[in-house]
Amino acid sequence: MWEVRVFVPLAPEDDATAVCRALCSGLKIPIQYSEQRTDLYLVGSDPSVGLKYRYGNIGGDLELKRTEEFTDEGAERISKTIVSPISVRSAIERCPRVEVKKHRWNGVGGREVTLLDVDSPVAHGRWISLCIEGIPKAQVGRAHEELFTCIKAAGVPTKGEVITCSYPKWLHRVVTPEAMTKHPS
């Protein structure tokens, strides 16, 4: 199955809560049900592969995400696997680490809105991610259009480029170039 994920950068003065409420309304996601967690991502040199510790659980198993296929619009078919830290020890030691605090609202049909706070030595900023996942490839164009229509209808202020891609590719774009050269993987 496929996912279309859009990352929208926010300025510090933006009211993130109001923006999230407007986006949830546009995607028909109930605002009262949400989850909060912090994930620790390891950013390697290949943007089609990502490693993360869910809930920042260093020492626990890692989730490995790999882009299997992608479209020109930025939609991706991703595989997820749980791996032991021992099996990827050298990557763990070499990769920059990025802690991402998430406040996520999930709806029906694989729709979600997530507020992302990134504050680490190698990347920082506040972002909102909108996603429609678990869809067949034939619905990718419609999902892409739905997300961008929702952003526009909600009047979401953006301080920069809106990015359509998976978490690993997004992190690869927001981590400072200096961090990638200090920690080649």
Delimit the domains of the chain by residue range.
Answer: 2-182
Contact between residue 54 and residue 39 where contact means Cβ atoms under 8 Å apart: yes
Predicted model pTM:
0.90
First to last CA, the chain: 29
DSSP character string of 89-122: HHHHHHS-EEEEEEEEEE-GGGEEEEEEEEESSS
- The CATH classification number of 2-182 equals 2.40.320.10
DSSP character string of 2-56: EEEEEEEEE-TTS-HHHHHHHHHHHTT--TT-EEEEEEEEE--S-TTEEEEEGGG
pLDDT tens digits in sequence order for the chain, 185 residues long: 999 999 999 988 889 999 999 999 999 999 888 999 999 999 988 999 999 998 877 777 899 999 999 998 899 999 999 998 888 887 778 888 899 999 999 998 999 999 999 988 888 899 999 999 999 999 999 999 999 999 999 988 776 688 999 999 999 888 877 766 654 44
